[in-house]
Amino acid sequence: MSAPGDEYKHTIALANATLGKIRDLGLPADPRSYAACFTYATECNPSRNRVVDEIVARKGTASASELETVYGYTSDALITDNVDKLATGVAGEVDQVMAMIDAAVGNVATYRDDLSNVTEQLGQTQDREGLRAIVEGLVQATIGMEATNQALTASLQASRQEISQLQDKVEALRIDSQTDSLTNLANRKYFDRELDRCMAEARTEELCLLLLDIDHFKKINDTFGHMAGDEVLRVVAHAFRQHVQPSEVAARLGGEEFAIIFPKASLRATVKVADQIRSRVKAMHFLKRSTGESIGCVTISGGVAAYRAGETPWSLIQRADHCLYAAKRHGRNTVATHSAVVLAEAS
């Protein structure tokens, strides 16, 4: 375990590295740029860093939005705007309900006064005609109160329906905030949160991380267009979902890179699932939907690392990414494990 002083020095070093990236890229020193550059500067995802390096080499810089796209993050601005709109809608409905309740209280008070007056009049009236007039007045007041109650009930039912719809929108927003819109897998933010949680709950080393990357994906985009590339991403993501259990998390990290967290799986079991996914994707034949043109077969490469007690999420991701890069170097369409890579590099 590192000493508090070491943690402080490490934190300051990361902050300085992040500020250095902001300065090198010429980005504004705002929270969004800092958050976007932090992952780049800390090199917790080397394969994504190589994509950023290519953008910088080509353009001389990379914007915060480009970094967010590469690393699988999206700006919080849209979510914040939607939350504000929903909050305004809820507040408006609550105000309407409170106004209706106030009006109902006023009507009840008026009706109570009418009843009090009737009681008083009944005590003072001796003739039949006077009694008839009092009863008719009471009937009219009761009819008016009944109509008011019916209108209030209708209004409250409408508000209840509106609030229910707003609740549905809040739930949809919650799902959107943690889902990649293209593949419907978990997004990078949700992946990071779930990886932290799974590692915190892990009592043994039976927790594995699988990183997967579509081979030669840039060639698919360049040859068949980005729409075809998006379709490949969706189909491959669907293949992942066929092999993921409810307790496991499949996510798109950015671009053509994916991850699956196996919170209660051995290295052997994880590699078996990874090979099943790899074989399933390889057996598919992809077509360009707009023209029917054959894209052919698509392969994926994978890297698996088993959790080591006490290590950080960054360390686990780096080890899995190192395996993924080794799988790419050794011909692609394969799955490499950390132990096998270390053994190969040592020989």
Active site residues: 256
Backbone angles phi, psi at 262, to 5 degrees: -110, 95
3-state secondary structure the chain: CCCHHHHHHHHHHHHHHHHHHHHHHCCCCCHHHHHHHHHHHHCCCHHHHHHHHHHHHHHCCCCHHHHHHHHCCCCCHHHHHHHHHHHHHHHHHHHHHHHHHHHHHHHHHHHHHHHHHHHHHHHHCCCHHHHHHHHHHHHHHHHHHHHHHHHHHHHHHHHHHHHHHHHHHHHHHHHHHCECCCCCCECHHHHHHHHHHHHHHCCCCCCEEEEEEECCHHHHHHHHCHHHHHHHHHHHHHHHHCCCCCCCEEEEEECCEEEEEECCCCHHHHHHHHHHHHHHHHCCCEECCCCCCEEECCCEEEEEEECCCCCCHHHHHHHHHHHHHHHHHCCCCCEEEHHHHHHHHHC
Closest CA to 277 of 295, 262, 263, 293: 262
